[in-house]
Chain A
């Protein structure tokens, strides 16, 4: 069983090399071999890491990593086709991500101990999110980038991890209190305000910052994560109702006051009102889906280059056009299985804190994939966010691998000692 997981890793890299091979054949006779050494390096690293995971010293899960590599190799071949110049950087980020994951696994014991300092984590979340508000630089329409010398970082990607850790620590500590002292109000059970206040403050500030920074995708993601985790931590549906109320209120207010929210919403209602202007991106994405059909146009045979930002937010449309319904379904199925595996890990944890952390990370990755896939297919209003592990982006890649590292370390069964 354990060695069979290596087969999956091998298939991942076969996909990568098949894709790169197609692109190189198209370039004949002036073939650009530059991504090859990096791709080989990544493949060797992936196989070595899987061999290491199979030994089970720091983790007992062997299926999550092949799935992550599946997404990354698909992302790399899509980038090699869409923006060849970004292919090597993405491979480099993949390797950095794998190293970071190993680091997280190595220090997993210390990190697990750090997970219980809830208020420090809460403050860190706010600081990280505030950083971009104070020193942020605007790239691609939202002011959520930090420029540190040669690299630019998206702090919200890392704020996500901190938020999950904070909520898990807070809820596992206060879960009983949030449930015990309740007052009936209509059909809702309301906890006393002083127990829920820290939670509300963190939610509110996080969301306000995103609306101000025009990063609606992250705002929606943070909100969904907070709601899911509160529900898991307390098991009380009242919180979901309160959150929905909040959400409705927030949505109405931001629709009234912010023009970019209005634009997004109107595009969603009727993209055909202005297909060449404001709705251009969404309309081109829908065309891409239509052009792909069931089997797709064939890799490198479509025209996904017409969609703006196709290499980050809209990479799923490019997959849809070139690999068709088949490719899309496969990607979505693997996301679902990653989520399933994450929840399995969460259910096997002994401590409530660890359960919440593992479930929180699975939900974060899954919701993120859902929001952007729903956005590009016009199922929900479009909110720019990366498709985890597939889109181009260093911050997104590294933070994804940190989450996977923590998830894997939580899957390690703790030894039962004598009392």
Chain B
């Protein structure tokens, strides 16, 4: 009888302290995991994405907003880039204009056009004037963002 009483007492004390430690352990782990999780890991930059019915893809190589890096935007006829919310690709970047650039299909080739931006649109580090044809592998710079054009 005395034995069980001692066992229950010690078990009780162990659980009491265990409860407090578990509370602390939970917060510690939660903070650690969430901190790790908020550091964005670019894992899908070369991932194979399904491209069906679309003929061109823009891959984000660099962007002011780190969470955009690695994203792929697939389109077939037309895509617009800029800071305004009505664009297809919305850049949260103070160097980009509201309607910065547009890419459109013209005679089976893709054409990029600058929409009168302040900081210009660059293709392979050359500022473009008027319209310009794009080839697969071209690097497009809009503001501080860089896209790779692929077909």
Contact = CB atoms under 8 A, between A and B. Distances in A.
Contacts of A337: 30-31, 34
Which 5 residue pairs across A and B have the least CB separation, nearest first?
A418-B75, A418-B54, A330-B23, A18-B19, A25-B12
A419 B77 contact: yes
A11 B75 CA distance: 45
A103 interface: no
Contact of A1 (B24, B33, B77): B33
Interface stretch (A2-10, A117-125, A144-152): A2-10
Range of interface residues on chain A?
A: 35 or more
Given A326-B24, A344-B38, A63 B16 contact: no
A67 B30 contact: yes
Contacts of A18: 15, 18-19, 22
Nearest to B71: A416
A63 B34 contact: yes
Contacts of B22: 11, 14-15, 18
B33 A419 contact: no
Contact of B23 (A7, A15, A63, A66): A15
Contacts of B79: 418-419
Interface of A: 1, 4-5, 7-8, 11-12, 14-15, 18-19, 21-22, 25-26, 28, 63, 66-67, 70, 74, 295-296, 298-299, 323, 326-327, 330, 333-334, 337, 340-341, 344, 348, 352, 416-419
19 contacts: A15-B22, A15-B23, A15-B26, A25-B8, A25-B15, A63-B33, A323-B20, A323-B23, A326-B20, A327-B23, A330-B24, A330-B26, A337-B34, A341-B34, A344-B38, A416-B71, A419-B75, A419-B76, A419-B78
B37 A298 contact: no
Given A11-B22, A18-B22, A416-B73, A63 B30 contact: yes
A62 B67 CA distance: 18
B74 A418 contact: yes
Given A4-B33, A419-B77, A11 B12 contact: no
Interface in B8-65: 8, 11-12, 15-16, 18-20, 22-27, 29-31, 33-34, 36-38, 53-54
B15 A21 contact: yes
B67 to A, nearest CB: 7
Nearest to B88: A419
Contacts of B73: 416
Contact of B37 (A1, A19, A330): A1
Contacts of A327: 20, 23
A22 B15 contact: yes
Contact of B26 (A22, A70, A418): A70
Interface of B: 8, 11-12, 15-16, 18-20, 22-27, 29-31, 33-34, 36-38, 53-54, 67, 71, 73-80, 85, 88
A344 B53 CA distance: 33
Given A21-B15, A299-B16, A66 B75 contact: no
A369 to B, nearest CB: 15
A327 B33 CA distance: 21
Nearest to A347: B67
Contacts of B31: 337
Contacts of A11: 22, 25-26, 29
Contacts of A296: 20
A26 B78 CA distance: 71
A330 B33 contact: no
B80 to A, nearest CB: 8
B94 to A, nearest CB: 17
B19 A19 contact: yes
Contacts of B19: 15, 18-19, 22, 299, 323
B37 A63 contact: yes
A415 to B, nearest CB: 10
Contacts of B53: 418
A323 B23 CA distance: 10
Contacts of B36: 1
Contacts of A352: 85
Nearest to B79: A419
A1 B24 CA distance: 20
A25 B11 contact: yes
A348 B53 CA distance: 28
Contacts of B16: 22, 298-299
A323 B24 CA distance: 11
Contacts of B29: 4, 7-8, 11
